[in-house]
Structure 1
């Protein structure tokens, strides 16, 4: 019970800070402020915000725990992320600024037509709702164990209360507030990881100079995997998949691009994209080092408590008897900073895309009508997120971080394929048939992934599924190319 009250007090303090920042930065925000931050965000603040925005509760919980099974193989994908960020900065950002887009999926309408536009928006909607719900689900499970079970509060009420808090601080300011609240999140995340690393190293009697050698010699710290091309950890699989993942899940994601496009011009936006992705390499490195230290600590101090691994590792050790209360509080601050900020930004992006892309509301409407529509959509998105999280709770049977990237591969693949085809080939297509291609591609990918080991001599399709999905979509669009002098069937 004492632990539950301490966690509740920590959450209350953090949210009080969030509400103050959100009110100061967003209480005068209009619709343009909600959707684009009035295109006045300082690029260096967006850079700081983007570092934290790319780290979810899943990263905070799952990356340290996953080093036992996969070592530091995740870093191979992170290196690909940086290359992908350069591609986004040099190719996509100038195009989005030139078109002056509020929602990036407006490109699809301009290039193909209304059906393609709505297809991209709906795939984003499904991907972001499922992805954000998986990320937030992981955190809700931790909070259920630490807080709500001791207070005899059911999981469903846990979700309702936490999503309600997110709705309250994000419904007014939108992107204009998120830039500043995400900057707070970045600070809290890095502080929590560094504090934990320092304490664990000290408890293991490792000095600052001894720490690198101790981590490097541990079996969980292997970074590069070149030995087995069939393995899901194979370097070129993860590196190339990382490039395409960041192009799709950042460059073609309304959530993260909404922050980036709030900069004053595309040069500032490019600086933000490249610098934040470069710094992220070192931040993820801290999480991986923390994972090794957590397993070293568990083997040394918690050997009598059985094997602790996976998503439960960080939280279990942070609140163990050997850790000071300060570390437990720091863990909770980092966790809620990662989770709540990510969920708040997801709700903002979902609200923007659904309002602009699917309902076709725009800034030419009366400001009062657009504001009412936006706030109603924001509430509905929050309610839907609650429902999806509860469904995940009832059927959860997979590692959280793998579930997130599997969802991204299936849902962002068609979006990536449409954008790549649109920029590489200038020929028109039969717009009305694009949704069928976009739906069939993930179905074909699922069949391929389910049977890849049997059909391809043990080869495992893992994170490269995104590339295959995009390629199938692009090939499908090739079949829909129409002659310019032929009457359009849309």
Structure 2
């Protein structure tokens, strides 16, 4: 149960962090200040902001749930994450900084035209709403656990609305600078809380043992995925080849084409500092994932591998919040819970700022009526922040009935569009012949193909073959042992499909290009 000291810590932290965010934002005079922090942020702060933005609550409660219900093979993804960020740092970032771009999709506008830029921006908006809707829902999980323990029957929608209102307040005023410095503080809080949890678990009585964990396969770190054949490997998200390849391409897409991350890197002072922030974020994420996997593993040993139902839980994401609530010392318990909430607020604020920026610069200024003065542009940016906050709350409520681990759900959603986005950038870099129509047609077809693949292509362990079945029922999946394509492979398949299709469409310009290059007769 929470004590008065815990509630005092929660209230003081919530008030203090919002006040800090408002102060850290400083005075905003233009959209450059509001969306890029004046391009004067230190690389290490941007690095921590990137890490906090991409993981936050999904890491704090979702990754321990993965370890509690599985093994440590999730960590294999981070090998690919580092590789992908190195590629982005040395291939895409020079192009972003060279053109003084304010959004990732401005590159597509320069290469193909405003139509492709607008299409990519709209895709980003939808993807971000869905993926970060999961993140906002994830924040409501520990809050509801706390409320139930205090005797309050509070539903997820109420919690989601409250978080949305508080987060919108400091994002509205402080812009990206407030978001980044909030991220730095909040990351320190929830990572410090995880270290504290490891120490407390290490000295507390254990219902199970490390020998039992090893026997149950909980200590497995590497999974080559070769034992059961290629089909099973391609449906196993944490098999080593799938994790490394998928993690690398996923990271290239998320950190090279997603405005949420690119916006932060563009806030660095120089290209070299942007590269440092990008590469080091991958290393920090790997360490952070390892830490929270260790928390989940130690919780499994602590509770003797008890099933969730025996613990009175309905989903794995509640295990760590339950431990914090029931077994951490007063005061520290309240601080860590506050850190979890604040971490998610930082992710939401990042998304609000990125969505508002992309809406203004990629859509309204290109296809609508651009604000006449910098003051009007800044005012419109703040209005857009509030609008997106309302939309976010609605989208977050769509996920309250799902039972997947939220970290897998959040990462899987991005797979629908990340391949197409990365493929569009790759097409622009690799094919000089491709034009805007080629890119737009290939992009739309790629998104449709990914929807069909994700919902319709299955590997049957009974027949050892691939089968097409549009969203089969749970009974059919169980009978045939149907397994979906592993989610880390979604961006791989999508990007390759996009580049191949776009290149094929561009072949129809071969004759025209040859004629244009042929010298005229004197």
Change in Cα spacing, 1:155 to 1:289, as seen in structure 2 (3 Å) is closer
Q: How does 1:170-209 map to 2 (within 5 A)?
A: 170-204=171-205
Measure how far apart 1:470 and its partner are.
1.3
Please name the residue that 1:276 is paired with. 281
Measure how far apart 1:139 and its partner are.
1.4
Choose 1 or 2 for highest CA Rg. Answer: 2
Measure how far apart 1:325 and its partner are.
2.4
Contact 2:256/2:262 (8 A) holds in 1: yes
Change in Cα spacing, 1:301 to 1:75, as seen in structure 2 (3 Å) is closer
Whole-angstrom distance in 2 between the partners of 1:254 and 1:472: 22
Whole-angstrom distance in 2 between the partners of 1:403 and 1:50: 20
Change in Cα spacing, 1:484 to 1:226, as seen in structure 2 (3 Å) is closer
Please name the residue that 2:412 is paired with. 406
Please name the residue that 1:298 is paired with. 303
Change in Cα spacing, 1:190 to 1:433, as seen in structure 2 (3 Å) is same
Contact 2:141/2:318 (8 A) holds in 1: no
Contact 2:6/2:331 (8 A) holds in 1: no
Change in Cα spacing, 1:44 to 1:460, as seen in structure 2 (3 Å) is same
Measure how far apart 1:363 and its partner are.
9.0
Whole-angstrom distance in 2 between the partners of 1:204 and 1:157: 37
Q: Could you say what secondary structure the match of 1:83 adopts? A: helix
Report Cα offsets for 1:323-377 as digits up to 9, x if no partner.
3224422430331132111111111111111111111279984012101211111
5+ residue gaps, structure 1? none
Please name the residue that 2:478 is paired with. none
Please name the residue that 1:338 is paired with. 343
Instruction: Note if 1:466 corresponds to 2:519.
Output: no
Whole-angstrom distance in 1 between the partners of 2:26 and 2:349: 16
Please name the residue that 2:15 is paired with. 16
- Count how many residue pairs are aligned between Structure 1 and Structure 2: 479
Please name the residue that 1:151 is paired with. 152
Whole-angstrom distance in 2 between the partners of 1:82 and 1:202: 33
Measure how far apart 1:156 and its partner are.
2.6
Whole-angstrom distance in 2 between the partners of 1:365 and 1:300: 62
Please name the residue that 1:225 is paired with. 223
5+ residue gaps, structure 2? 468-481, 514-522
Please name the residue that 2:261 is paired with. 256
Whole-angstrom distance in 1 between the partners of 2:178 and 2:311: 44
Q: Could you say what secondary structure the match of 1:319 adopts? A: helix
Change in Cα spacing, 1:213 to 1:32, as seen in structure 2 (3 Å) is farther
Measure how far apart 1:13 and its partner are.
2.1
Q: Could you say what secondary structure the match of 1:453 adopts? A: strand
Q: Could you say what secondary structure the match of 1:467 adopts? A: helix
Change in Cα spacing, 1:102 to 1:124, as seen in structure 2 (3 Å) is same
Please name the residue that 1:387 is paired with. 394
CA RMSD of aligned residues (A): 2.9
Identify which range, 407-416 or 20-29, moves more after superposition.
Answer: 20-29
Measure how far apart 1:135 and its partner are.
0.9
Measure how far apart 1:46 and its partner are.
1.8
Q: Could you say what secondary structure the match of 2:174 adopts? A: coil
Q: Could you say what secondary structure the match of 1:220 adopts? A: coil
Contact 1:127/1:408 (8 A) holds in 2: yes
Contact 2:259/2:354 (8 A) holds in 1: yes
Measure how far apart 1:204 and its partner are.
3.7
* Structure-1-length-normalised TM-score: 0.90
Whole-angstrom distance in 1 between the partners of 2:152 and 2:298: 32
Whole-angstrom distance in 1 between the partners of 2:438 and 2:431: 17
Identify which range, 269-278 or 433-442, moves more after superposition.
Answer: 433-442
Measure how far apart 1:218 and its partner are.
7.0
Please name the residue that 2:70 is paired with. 70
